[in-house]
Every structure is written in C-alpha cells, then in structure tokens.
Amino acid sequence: MSARSFWRPGKGQSRAAVYSFLGLVSWFPVIASFNLYVAEVTRINGKSMYPFMNADRDSILRRDVCLNWKWGANRDLERGMVVTLRSPTQPENIAVKRVVALEGDVIRTKAPYPVATVMVPAEHVWVEGDGPPGTSLDSNTYGPVSKQLITGRITHVLYPFNKFGPLEWRDHKRPLVY
C-alpha cells in the first residue's frame, strides 16, 4: 500500500466507508472533551429546584433542558448561582442546587442539620434546593460541600421555550444569607 493511498482512499467503496467511519470516530474525543470542560446540554431531574425549574412537574412529565456551563465553574462563585455538583453522598449522581453561602459566611441551617448555625469553611460552599425544607437532599443533610465537587453552572434554559433564555438566578427572591 502506498502512502498516498493511506491518506486518500482508493476507489474501493468498503475502504472509503472505513475511512469515513474513522473520521467520524476521531471527533468523539473532541465532543466528549467539550461536554466535560466547556458546556453540555443537561436535563433537570427531580423536584429539588421546584418551582424555579421543572415548574410543571405536578401536571406533566416534561423536564427542563438547560445549558450547563462547565468552563471555570468553581471559580468566582456568587450567592444565588445555580450549579451542578457531584453529590457528596452518591458519587455517581449529579445534583442541581443553588449556592446559598460562600466560604466564611455564617449560615442558619434548616432541619435535619444537627447544628443551628454553621460557618462555611475555606474552599467550600453551602448549597440548597429551592423547594421547602425536606424536599431536597442538600447541605442541610450533608453539610458544606467542597468547590471541587462543582461540575458546572446552569446558565441558560433551552426548554420549555417560554422560559428560553439566560437563567435569571439573580432575580430569584429568596433569603440567601441570614
């Protein structure tokens, strides 16, 4: 086989098919890296961010689809941001929560946390779901979480279309720090 035929497949159709398949496969690592480190389209499961997300969860099975921005997700966090993180208690699960307090903040905890007030330690954040206490497995159960567990930020809503656009996490009315 001459070198030229390696780079420019011959007339054989099966060989052309193999090369086009290899050309397709060679893009998989690029797409996987993009989804891991830059952005990914994520579907929100569960009730922990209700009613901010999955607002129709009581009437239909539709789940919100969001853009999960991963680049520099655990840098320059602000109170109120909606982030995805690996659950500290279930390593294979990705959770969606709201950052409620940053390092150094003193937070008043909710049930079932055993202590009334907590100061969030260095490089950690306090995350909570939006629903009423007891509807979300969050920092009130497992305590402050390391920023290293945060995998991304929810920046845009893609579906349903009536909510399409940037996620207005700043406008969400909620007592963030007591």
Partner 1 sequence: MVFTHFRARPFHLTLQTFKLMCAVHLFQTHVFAVGATSGPSMCPTFAVDGDWVATDMTHARNRRKELRIGDLVQYRIPILENADGIKRLVGLPGDYVCMGTPGERGEDQMIQVPEGHCWVLGDNLTASRDSRIFGPLPLALIKGKVVARVLPYGQSGWLHNPLQSAETSQLGS
Binding site for partner 1 (CB under 8 A): 3-4, 6-7, 26-27, 29-30, 32-33, 36, 74-75, 86-92, 121-124, 142, 145-149
Among 20, 26, 48, 146, the active-site one is: 48
141's enclosing H/E stretch is helix 139-142
Min dist CB 101 to partner 1, Å, is: 16
The tokens for 164 are 């399409």
* Tokens (6 digits) for 77: 């966090």
Residue 97 among the catalytic residues: yes
Q: Per the residue annotation, which of 70, 97, 139, 147 is the catalytic one?
A: 97
**CA pair distance 85, 146, nearest whole angstrom:** 10
Alpha-carbon distances, residue 43 vs 77, 94, 104, 126, 137 (angstroms): 22, 11, 32, 23, 18
> Cβ closer to partner 1: 29 or 132?
29
Which lies closer to partner 1 via its Cβ, residue 87 or residue 155?
A: 87
The answer to whether 98 touches 169, Cβ cutoff 8 Å, is: yes
Nearest approach, Cβ of 59 to partner 1 (angstroms)? Answer: 33
Encoded amino acid at 73, one letter: A
Which of 73, 65, 72, 70 minimizes the C-alpha distance to 42? 65
Q: Is 163 in the active site?
A: no
User: What minimum distance in Å lies between the beta carbon of 69 and partner 1?
Assistant: 17
Instruction: Return the number of the residue (53 or 95) whose C-beta is nearest partner 1.
Output: 95
User: Looking at beta carbons only, is 27 or 161 nearer to partner 1?
Assistant: 27
Q: Active-site residues: which are they?
A: 48, 97
